[in-house]
Structure 1
Amino acid sequence: MTRRHGRLALVTTLVALLTAGLAAPAAAGPPRGPKHFDIQAHRGGLGLTVEGTLAAFSRALELGVTTLELDIQITRDGRDVITHDRQISAAKCRDTKPASPGDPQFPYVGSYVKDLTFAQVRTLDCGSLRQPGHPDQELAPGATMPTLAELFDLVREHRAHRVRFNIETKVEAAAPEETAPREQFVDRVIREVSRSGFARNVTVQSFDWGALMQVRRKAPWLPVVALTQPEFLQVGAPGRSPWLGGLDIDDFGGDPVAAVSSFGASALSPVHGNPQGGTVGDDDYVPFTTRELVDDAHAAGLRVVPWTVNDRATMHKLIDDGVDGLITDYPDRLREVAAERGFRPPKPSPLRGRDG
């Protein structure tokens, strides 16, 4: 081989390697190992601060979490807002004033987010109401529904450059008329993540596997996480569940690991058990996330991060089962449990000018 041909072969090899790297999804979470455990603050840690607010995410960063877990909805004019509910809840948000004088849609509480403009949604106060199930929630009076861009800016202010973002597209697959089309969710998330500077820190999760399939086609570099629960899998039921993107779970023998592997998911995020608010100590509790499920997922190269786990006993049980992390309303509690089990908790990221 001549020197010129050798250089050409080297360049060709490097191009192929770079191309393969761009086509493959980034790691779906923090490094695996005996000292790493993914502590995900559900909606910013809604047991500590009113959900989905910048105040909640800021507190989670100051506490020290691996991942900020959040939901987005899409407004009538195509803007993203961080909020869980597709229909604005009077238990969580208050009307303040119309976006424009004489607005016929005012008041906005009770409306679907997809039927309101960004300007209308931003008039809502979603930080002044404490949830009965979380009596210790800190309030954030006057807080509006933030955008992804605003959250990314907040993380920069905290200099939390290693924190991860687990962004859920809240497509209502069983009632698609109540949310924006999945294409809008997918395109908006990809756009905001691409320009954020945090692209390597992001996963996209959804119960709507059709949205995840679109992410894989449009942004194969972006890892996707398949949320699920038995009600949505519909094992043994006739036909296909609307949540599975055209798949029939029975074609996979009822196995969610095989199903999500078929479209390139990087992680499985199952409910921990039923009832969802139950614990391992309850007589009627039936675990869904088991050691067998975790072992099968790991054998398929998938991480497992169950939701939403708030009590210590269930946290310990799932760690025994080998899960890679947990989504929780109480990241402070999970930090303590993780430390008890020998994991190294994430470092706090206080705002600039504050003591850590």
Structure 2
Amino acid sequence: MGSPTTASGKTRIALLLPLSGRAAPIGQQMQQAAEMALFDTGAKELALAAYDSGDSADAAVQSYRKARTDGAALVLGPLYGTSATALVPLVNQGGANVISFSNDEQVAQRGVWIMGIAAPPQVRRVVDKAVESGIRRFAAFAPQTSYGEQMVRTLESHVAVRGGSVVGVEFFDANATDLATPARRLADEVKGDSKVAVLVPVAPPRVSAVLAALATAGIDGKAVQFIGTGVWDTPGVGSETMLRGAWYAAPDPARRADFERRFLSTYGKPPHRLATLAYDAVALAGHLARQKAGGDFSAEAITNPNGWSGIDGAFRFFPDGRSERALAVIEIQGGDRTVVVSPAPTGFAERPTF
């Protein structure tokens, strides 16, 4: 096994990214963002090396093994949840800890943390905003998929915690073109005098057909408060007129704006949305490297309860591999215009928020 430090005394950090295959353009931009972080933070303690994790779990395993042979003290990546899961046995055998770029909480466990912005906390955050605005009734119109079902479970559990009630839930076939029947059922379920917030965990462009079915059934943004997740955090989402006034939870875009400008100026194209994950991960690695000679990349150091601050706001890791982020609630106002209606917290309370 190689030394965790180079001849110059720098700590070796591995970056596992899909530098080939269908996601290569994303991986390349994440690598560029990582290089920006190394320069911006002046992390002279780090020697950063990128490894191609490709499209498969096998490729990620091979890259991890090569990184460990080279002496990596910490592994940042891979991007895919299945690839991160494949690294678990190697980590459990005494390998370097992993901070993956996946947002799948099912991947998370001690030694393999997820840095991606997981969806369940997004639902909890936007429910909190709705409750604070006086809304007590909630509903969901979701695809019959593992993602849709997870979002509904999160809604039901957190609404109960906040003292509200879920008055209607309808699932629909994710591939169906006719959504009239489940939309009419939901319209009947949400009838009442008080306002209802309807969770629609569907990404553009599919969300257009979903909203059209709801509108035909009598549910639109004037009658209800639509709420969603970060799948709405895409350019031009406000062109969907029915989403005007809708809320979703995501990192504060103002914090990301300067990074996006500098990335565009440096590399000639705007960064992929996931590029900030690589930037923040390298910045975190630089901080951990300064904790002591050779760095401290232990689980205890990574899970500092005070958390860390990055381009996407404050974040922290828990011993079970999950992460928590300080998210803003954003309102869609049409075109490319959005406005933060509930700012992201600047830090964390002592206790986890879930």
TM-score if structure 2 supplies the norm length? 0.30
Structure with higher RCO (Cα < 8 A, 6+ apart): 1
| Structure whose residues are more often strand by fraction | 2
**TM-score, length-scaled by structure 1:** 0.29
